[in-house]
Amino acid sequence: MVNQPKWNILVVDDTSDNLRLLSETLGQRGYEVQCAINGQLALATIQYGLPDLILLDIKMPGLDGYEVCAQLKANPTTAQIPVIFLSALDEVQDKVMAFQAGGVDYVTKPFQVEEVLARVSHQLTIRQLQVQLQQQNIKLHHLNQDLTRSNQELEQFAYIVSHDLQQPLQTITGFAELLLGLGSSLQTQEELEEYVTPILEEGIRMQELIKSLLNYNRVETSQRKLEIIDCNIILKETLKKLQLTIEESGAIVTAANLPEIWGDRVQIGQLFQNLISNGIKYRRPGVLPKVIISATRKSTEWMFEIHDNGIGIKPENFNRIFQIFQRLHAYQDYPGNGIGLAICKKIVERHRGRLWVESEIEIGTSFYFTIPDQ
- The binding site for ligand ADP (CB under 6 A) comprises 274, 278-279, 282, 308, 310-311, 313, 321, 327-329, 336-342, 365
End-to-end CA distance of the chain: give it in Å, rounded.
40
3-state secondary structure of 365: strand
* Comparison of 98 and 313: residue with beta carbon closer to ligand ADP: 313
* Comparison of 58 and 339: residue with beta carbon closer to ligand ADP: 339
Opening angle at CA 174, ends 169 and 177, nearest 5: 125
Please name the amino acid found at residue 58.
Answer: I
d(Cα 310, Cα 41) in Å, to the nearest integer? 72
Q: What's the min distance (Å) between Cβ of 326 and ligand ADP?
A: 6
* Comparison of 155 and 362: residue with beta carbon closer to ligand ADP: 362
Q: What is the H or E stretch that residue 46 is in?
A: helix 39-47
d(Cα 37, Cα 17) in Å, to the nearest integer? 11
d(Cα 33, Cα 40) in Å, to the nearest integer? 18
CB atoms inside a 10 Å sphere around CB 251: 21
Q: What's the min distance (Å) between Cβ of 325 and ligand ADP?
A: 8
3-state secondary structure of 78: coil
Nearest residue (beta carbon) to ligand ADP: 336
* Comparison of 57 and 164: residue with beta carbon closer to ligand ADP: 164
Q: What's the min distance (Å) between Cβ of 151 and ligand ADP?
A: 24
* Comparison of 120 and 321: residue with beta carbon closer to ligand ADP: 321
Radius of gyration of the CA atoms of the chain, in A: 36
Q: What's the min distance (Å) between Cβ of 210 and ligand ADP?
A: 14
Q: What's the min distance (Å) between Cβ of 351 and ligand ADP?
A: 18
**Torsion sign, CA atoms 47, 51, 53, 55:** negative
CB atoms inside a 10 Å sphere around CB 85: 26
Q: What's the min distance (Å) between Cβ of 253 and ligand ADP?
A: 13
* Comparison of 51 and 338: residue with beta carbon closer to ligand ADP: 338
